[in-house]
């Protein structure tokens, strides 16, 4: 049995296949997922699993170079947005690597998810709780 934090086989396999600049999206329960992009549906019920729990588990095994968020996120869901930005500040410090955060309109964000290798759907019901992680390298 796998011993690390992340034990979901589909998510682990997806991360193992990723290369530099590949994108992985983690989304709330309502984000439309493009038909041609792999869907990893973890959603069980409202809030299960949560966006932050899923994000923390994924980042525990992924080298993140940058993230993309919807520019509406900070205004509509400021508490969760603050948790996300604080989390990445801590991760950047721990890994001694900068993690840039960029913002695009929600409409552009949805279009950009078409470039993700996979979209992980959570049970999160917080508006705009979506993030695209761009893969970095470990050296």
Per-residue pLDDT at 3: 76
Q: What is the DSSP letter of 31?
A: -
Q: Is 20 tagged catalytic? A: yes
Own/partner long-range contacts of 1-8 (Cβ < 8 Å, ≥24 apart): 4/60, 4/61, 5/56, 5/57, 5/60, 5/61, 6/57, 6/58, 6/60, 6/61, 8/40, 8/42, 8/57
Mean pLDDT over 38-53 rounds to 98
Q: Given this structure, which CATH class describes domain 9-135?
A: alpha beta
Q: Is 36 annotated as a binding residue?
A: no
Mean pLDDT over 126-134 rounds to 98
Domain boundaries, the chain: 9-135
Q: With residue 59 as reference, give the H or E element that holds it.
A: helix 51-59
Per-residue pLDDT at 2: 75
Measured from the Cβ of residue 132, the count of other Cβ atoms closer than 10 Å reads 22
Q: Is 129 annotated as a binding residue?
A: yes
CB 57 within 8 A of CB 24: no
Among the options 5, 9, 13, 20, which is catalytic?
Answer: 20
Per-residue pLDDT at 60: 96
Q: Is 75 annotated as a binding residue?
A: no
Q: Is 130 annotated as a binding residue?
A: yes
Confidence of residue 1 (pLDDT cuts 50, 70, 90): confident
pLDDT of residue 102 exceeding 90: yes
Cis peptide bond upstream of 48, omega within 30: no
Q: Is 23 annotated as a binding residue?
A: no
**Please, which residues have CB within 8 angstroms of residue 117's CB and are 6 or more apart in sequence?**
14, 17, 18, 22, 23, 24, 37, 38
Residue that is written with structure tokens 């309502």 in the block = 30
Chain centroid, CA 46 distance in Å: 18
Residue whose C-alpha is closest to residue 69's, from 123, 105, 22, 38: 105
């Amino acid at each position: 049995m796998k011993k690390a934090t992340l034990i979901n086989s589909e998510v682990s396999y997806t991360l193992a296949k990723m290369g530099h600049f590949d994108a992985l999206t983690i989304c709330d329960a309502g984000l439309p997922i493009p038909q041609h992009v792999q869907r990893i549906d973890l959603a069980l019920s409202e809030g299960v699993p949560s966006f932050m729990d899923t994000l923390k588990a994924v980042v525990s095994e992924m080298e993140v170079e940058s993230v993309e968020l919807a520019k509406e996120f900070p205004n509509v869901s400021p508490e969760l947005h603050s948790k996300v930005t604080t989390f990445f500040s801590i991760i950047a410090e721990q890994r001694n690597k900068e993690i840039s955060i960029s913002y695009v309109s929600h409409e552009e964000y949805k279009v950009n998810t078409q470039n993700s290798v996979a979209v992980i759907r959570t049970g999160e019901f917080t508006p705009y709780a979506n993030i695209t992680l761009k893969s970095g390298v470990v050296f």
